[in-house]
Structure 1
Amino acid sequence: MKQLILAEKPSVAKDLGRVLGANKKTKNYYEGPNVIVTWALGHLLGLKMPEDINKNWQTWQMETLPMIPKNIGIKPLPKTGQQLKAIKQLAHRKDIKEFVIATDAGREGELVARWILEWVHFDKPVKRLWISSQTNKAIKEGFKQLKPAKEYDALYESALARSKADWLVGLNISRALTVKYEDSLSAGRVQTPTLSFVRQQEKQIDKFRPQTYYVIELEVAGQKAARIQKNPYEIKEQQEAQNLITQMSQHAGAVVSVNEKNKTENAPLPYDLTEIQREANQRYGFSAKKTLSVVQSLYETHKVVTYPRTDSKYLTNDMKKTMKERLQAIANFSPEVKDYIKSGAKVEQKAVFNDAKVSDHSGLIPTEQGANPAKFSNDEQKIYNMIVTRFLTLFAKAHKKLQQKATVKFGDETFVFTQNKMIEAGWKGQEESEKNVNKWQEGQKIQPNFSIKKELTKPPKPLNEASLLAKMEKFSLGTPATRAEIIDKLLRSELMERTPSGLQVSPKGKQLLDLVNPSLVTPDLTKKWEEELEAIAQNKFSSKKFLAQIEKDTKELVNEVKNSQKKYQDFSITQKKCPECGSFLREKNTRNGKIYVCSNSECSYHRRKDPKVSNHRCPQCHKKMEIIEGKNGAYFRCKFDGITEKIPNKKEQKKKMSKQEEKRLLKQYSKPDEPEESPLAIAMKEAMNKD
């Protein structure tokens, strides 16, 4: 009898099969003496669409909203039906004794597997593999500690409730807005408040008006300190600052106190997914989605980091015994690693071990498997360096310094001079020493050496992906695993745009925020939902109660749209007319660039906004030619010199000269030319021909 093991991706199934001895490879699974390892392709099933549940919901119309089905149900996703069919056949084999869920250890991974089990009607025991890294050791140990799948029922209920909530709110509100305003408008319980964060920042920037203000500084032996004031912008006029200096100069300046304090700064905790996405965006300009993809590759393909989709920065206590092995795996990363190993792999940042603060997965750290940097891409190397560097700080001592503060007074006005002396570099390494270090003494007399510095208030910066992720995390919008996709969806749906300075809301997005119910724009409602979903996962809240409230909220939100008197202007409509029906064309962004589509829903006309650039070279200037759609079909055209060429059909393309023929002809015509005839010989030939 055999175990049927379900991985989330083919690459993971391959690794599981290798470790478990499933060496026989087929199109849909790996098989060994005791196990069969198959795979999903992410989700193979999804919730049914409205038209699958009720024929009346097939047409988008306001009369059928809100759509609140008693049971939504699931259906196979297109293009992956063959793999689902293969899993069903395997599940009903007589030699299968039990099923092992080995999908990603998280909410969505649980949903992937449970829907498959439901679809194939599996009625034998089901167990769960829960591991945080893909190394051989982790896989072997994980299979020794399989747990009954029932222990993860609450996690599945949370995932299912999340999926149904997004269906109810997302599909109903998006349909209502699209029908009401006759344009594709997408709203959701997480994406709409996320979009609102970007818009609120834009409003702050729009309101901003630069103001001049003045700062008074006191210089003592090369050190400068600004006058202490409650409002840093209070001095608006230079004369006001000059009057204040005159007033202070009438008093004898003195050091009224000198305070010293030892300051200790512990190393930072390991990254969670959101923090590494933020930092990679700041350092390298990586999008949240790209960073997730790179970390996922380091986890799945290279197996050198732990599970990436984590919301924790802490490690469990049982991981203490693995620290030395992890250090040995990165022994060549930097010189200090071998010192840490020799000293017993002692973790100085002891607060990192906290079982209570690790939910599903620990912080992001290296595994016990050594890395081969030669196999890394440039981006993988950057992210791997970040994870390992942060991990190594746990073994370094705390950064310690002596901070001295000297308070100087001129009458009622105060200046505070701060200087630091490093006691122990610790995890921060050697810092540049302060150039000017004064020996302050209480009662020391100070000469009035003042200066006025003119400053200008700075506007708030637009949100970028790093700062937007921070806001999403603060207000519990989405999970570490979904935040990147939410940002990407806002960009794809043309509600938000990337610019060199940061993210900005499109005209379409601005209107959407004005059209939807205010409760869907603020993060409060969504934060409440996320907290309840987490409570469901911990078996502390009922999913039925949660969905009952979601249904109620959906009805209210749809009615708000129905009764709204607000107007909408489609900024994507151009003044260009459709050649087939005469309606105006709408500009739309796609993966292949901008296109024009007919605004008439019954007309299917579309074309590219800008001609497609081919790899075909102009015979004159040798630059790439454009493909132009003409009345008689497509043709090549050079935009630089206007030359046009017919696009060869398939037969003509086949007749195209091969590289070998090209080389042969080139060789033939590259032979030295025959010796040229002399002018005398040519003249004699011409004379003879005349005779």
Structure 2
Amino acid sequence: MIRKLIIAEKPSQAREYAAALGVKKRGDGFLENESYVITWCYGHLLELERPEAYMDLDRVGKRWSLKRLPVLPKLRDFRRVVKSGAEKQFKVIQQWLKSSDIGEVICGTDADREGQLLFQEVWDASKCNKPLSRLWISSLTNAAILEGLKSLRPGESMAGLAAAGNGRAYADWDFGMNLTEGFSSLFGSFDAERKKPNVISIGRVQTPTLALIVEREWEIEQFVTQRFFEVKAEFTTLQGGYPGKWFDLRDDSKRITDPQVAETIVAKTQGKQGEILRIEQKDVQEPAPLLFDLTSLSIAASKKYGYSAEKVLQLAQSLYEKKAITYPRTDCAYLSTDILPKLPDHLRATRQEPYTNLVDEAAQFGLPKGKRVINTITAHHAIIPTTEKVALDRLNRDEQNLYDLILRRFLAVWFPPAQYHQTDVVTMVEDEAFRTKGKVLLSLGWKKVYGSSELNEESEGKSKKKLKQDQTEDESVALPPLSKGEDVKAKRVFIEEKSTKPPKRFTQGDLLKAMEGAGKQIDDEILRQQLKGKGLGTVATRPAIIESLIDRGYILQDHKILRPTEKGVELIKVIKEKLPQAQLLISAEMTGQMEFDLSKVERGELTIEHYMTEVEEAIVRILQELRSFEQRHGKTPLALAPSSKNLKKGKEVKESGKKDKTKPVEESPVKRLGNCPKCGGEIIEGQKGFGCSNWREGCRFVLWKTPICGKVLTVNQVKSLLKKGRTPLIKGFKSKSGKTFAAYLIWEDQLEAKLKFEIENS
């Protein structure tokens, strides 16, 4: 019986494939019926070997040193090994790939670069030459899976995507392994408090991202506040009163910085007659915001709910696996023309309270049109609800919040634009000009989808605070009937003193924008879509980069604000001031270009060999520069990462050596250990066990601290279990007979937190 083998990215994905295909028989690490065998990875089952595997350690030694570098394996020489804890599942996949029962293999991992890479790793390791196809879908609904299986892509069409995946992995390995060892041997030290080395981690994307945060901090420190003065007036006419603000007719961006000038204008115009020089009136339309890609979704969720980028990705992945939304790791905010006929099904699936009336009204406007909705897409279209109705009460609170954002943004594009009547008035008094802006909402249009408190948040290109300020001063004015040439009187003229503000520190949402724009925060959403592919990292990797900067002691998160630590500042300073060749590492534009080159590899426009040659040449130059620095200055340890003890006492200081005036961040005693297998929430340590932080929303996942054959799970063991599916080898278990033994703990039933032993092979 010849069957088809589907390899999924993870067990939950495999279960969805099985449900769609009616595959019910369970095996150890796979599901099967007469036609299909479905097995799965746990993310990446293999990893690139450590640099020491390519070294002659007897010659170069085991201690990190510049003398051991560079280690730059040729493309054909890179080796992967099975990750600890993944041996069993890797063996299952290999057995099926080599089985005579299998006549065709289908790659069913996530339809993106990393999904292709983790499949490619196990495929290449097997040397399998069976016919290969690619399942490429944007949601896990039964209909999408079955439709995708009818239109499989040829395996060879994924060659570019696989090459780009390998290019990303090899380049990150070359940069990270060589330069982390190089920088650590020169600028690292021993952290006596933590009792481990203070590693100076370097990354192709991580380091330029850190530079963005540090350079913003320097801008803030060097900012010189300047006073300026605004002259405002209250005018009266026969029809009523209205306000105005002075401006220079020749240069409307000019500010008054001399108080004498402001006082002169007040004295000159107070109580005087004037006339309306110009009045312009027009009706304007404001279209609905673009649909969400992962970055814009993360920004919206950060702004409204304070979610980190990593949390948004976790929640979105959970919603995807629950068939609530389409594929979330997308950098595209458009839909393709071929999805248009299916959009009514997507809309009908959202018809439940509290959205019923909005859905019914949306349906009356017909299919969404225009290039703001239907346009050229990348690998995946924008994030929208699927064609399956979601049981909202089965989502936890955070999932409901994120789903609400996605659903309302989807509903908004069905509605017509919001309409305003806009008025711009210029009033002249004694040759001084005053401007008045009025903006009156005529029709809500898409804004009906949102409550009044959320309207400003959804308007394009402006933060809620900015909108509120603009409208208070310029646009919310209720104007009486006015006409050109009409006489007015400056009833009251007064001065408001203001001052320029320094740039703001990044929030995670702001940083995602800057990473996407290769260092430039691009608010215009259309322009943002046009510049895809040249940012720092990808939509899927940026959240992890931010978290790694926090974990490695380079930055701190103070509520929503990110700021650099002394360690982070010193690293960027030494690169910027002492290491010109290494400035490649902090160039957002250069790293963005590397990301763009990877996309060219994916499209077959650039060979992976050419890409890697440029990577290797850059690393060799930087290592040579580090050697020269060492000869001139010797080892120069950088600051240690801040400790929780110092943070609580307010001892974290800036690079200048002065105490930071910003309120110190107290590290929470509750630390995230990993993702909840049941709901995607955060696992934290409690008194009696390790449980899900979403317990208030009904998640009952918990690993109890009940002794298992005499041993109680430790924090590190739980971390490993959540990340790798197994603990490290635990010694000292005692059987009922009193005999001691060593074993790994692995999942027997992950969703129910049941464990079982995996005995070490003797």
TM-score tier by shorter-chain length is 0.7 to 0.9
Report whether the alignment pairs 1:416 with 2:435: yes
1:271-302 C-alpha deviation (Å, 9 max, x unpaired): 000111111111111100000000000001x2
Q: 1:344 to 1:499 in 2, by over 3 A?
A: closer
For 1:96, the equivalent position in structure 2 comes to 102
Tell me how far apart the structure 1 counterparts of residues 433 and 594 of structure 2 sit (CA, whole Å). Answer: 50
CA distance in 2, matches of 1:480, 1:419: 39
Match of 1:543 in 2: 608
**Matches of residues 383-462 of structure 1 in structure 2 within 5 Å?**
383-429=402-448, 436-448=478-490, 449-462=492-505
Matched, 1:570 2:669: no
Is contact 1:4–1:38 with CA below 8 Å preserved after alignment? Answer: yes
Match of 2:347 among 327, 341, 361: 327
Measured against aligned partners, the alpha-carbon deviations of 1:607-642 in whole angstroms (never above 9, x if no partner) come to xxxxx99669xxxxxxxxxxxxxxxxxxxxxxxxxx
SS in 2 for 1:261: strand
Matched, 1:235 2:278: no
Mapping of residues 119-138 of structure 1, within 5 Å? 119-138=125-144
2:17 counterpart letter in structure 1: L
Name the SS of the counterpart of 1:224 in structure 2: strand
The equivalent residue for 2:545 is 486
The yes-or-no answer on 1:533 pairing with 2:598 is: yes
Alignment partner for residue 318 of structure 1, among 332, 338, 361? 338
Cα displacement (A) at 1:436: 2.5
Contact map agreement 2:362 2:415 (CA 8 A) in 1: no
Question: Partner residue of 1:509?
Answer: 568
* Structure 1 range deviating more: 308-317 or 538-547: 538-547
1:202 aligned residue = 217
Q: 2:107·2:132 contact (CA, 8 Å) conserved in 1?
A: yes
Name the aligned partner's letter for residue 406 of structure 1.
V
Aligned-residue offset at 1:247: 2.8
> Displacement, 1:345?
4.0
| Counterpart residue identity of residue 242, structure 1 | E
Structure 2: distance between partners of 1:107 and 1:88: 22
Q: 1:523 to 1:155 in 2, by over 3 A?
A: same
Return the TM-score normalized by structure 2. Answer: 0.73
Indicate the residue corresponding to 2:234 in structure 1: 219
Q: Is the 8 A contact 1:2 1:97 kept in 2?
A: yes
Q: Which has the larger radius of gyration?
A: 1
Q: Which residue of 2 aligns with 1:561?
A: 626
- Count residues with an aligned counterpart: 586
Q: Secondary structure at the match of 1:309?
A: coil
Contact map agreement 1:324 1:341 (CA 8 A) in 2: no
Partner of 2:65: 61
Q: 2:325 aligns with which of 305, 308, 311?
A: 305
Structure 2 distance, partners of 1:250, 1:19, is 78
Match of 1:186 among 201, 225, 230: 201
List per-residue Cα deviations over 1:333-386 (Å, max 9, x = no partner). 4243443465374225553111x2x11000010000001011000000000000
Q: In 1, are the aligned partners of 2:426 and 2:433 still within 8 Å (CA)?
A: yes
Distance 1:568 1:342, change over 3 A: closer
Q: What residue is the counterpart of 2:760 in the other structure?
A: none
**Partner amino acid, structure 2, of 1:396:** F
Classify the secondary structure of the residue corresponding to 1:43.
Answer: coil
Deviations along 1:390-449, whole A, 9 cap, x unmatched?
A: 000111011112211111112442212111233322112397995732111111112123
Q: Which moved more, 1:203-212 or 1:289-298?
A: 203-212
TM-score of the pair, normalised by structure 1: 0.80
Distance in 2, matches of 1:161 and 1:421, equals 53
Query: Does the aligned pair in 1 maintain the 2:274–2:487 contact within 8 Å?
Result: yes
Counterpart for residue 468 of structure 1: 511
The alpha-carbon deviation at position 307 of structure 1 amounts to: 0.2
The aligned residue for residue 34 of structure 1 is: 35
- Distance in 2 between residues matched to 1:352 and 1:303, nearest whole Å: 22
Q: 1:109 aligns with which of 87, 112, 115?
A: 115
Taking every aligned residue pair, what percent have the same amino acid on both sides?
29
Residues 224 and 518 of structure 1, relative CA distance in 2, 3 Å threshold: same
SS in 2 for 1:351: coil
SS of the counterpart of 2:372?
helix
Letter in 1 for 2:621: E
Amino acid at match of 1:133: S
Question: Counterpart in 2 of 1:272?
Answer: 293
> Quick check: 363-372 or 540-549, which moved more?
540-549
Q: Residues 12-23 of structure 1: matches in 2 within 5 Å?
A: 12-23=13-24
Q: 1:350 to 1:177 in 2, by over 3 A?
A: closer
Structure 1 unmatched runs, 5+: 577-588, 595-611, 617-649, 652-691
Which residue is equivalent to 1:676? Answer: none
- Aligned residue number for residue 635 of structure 1: none
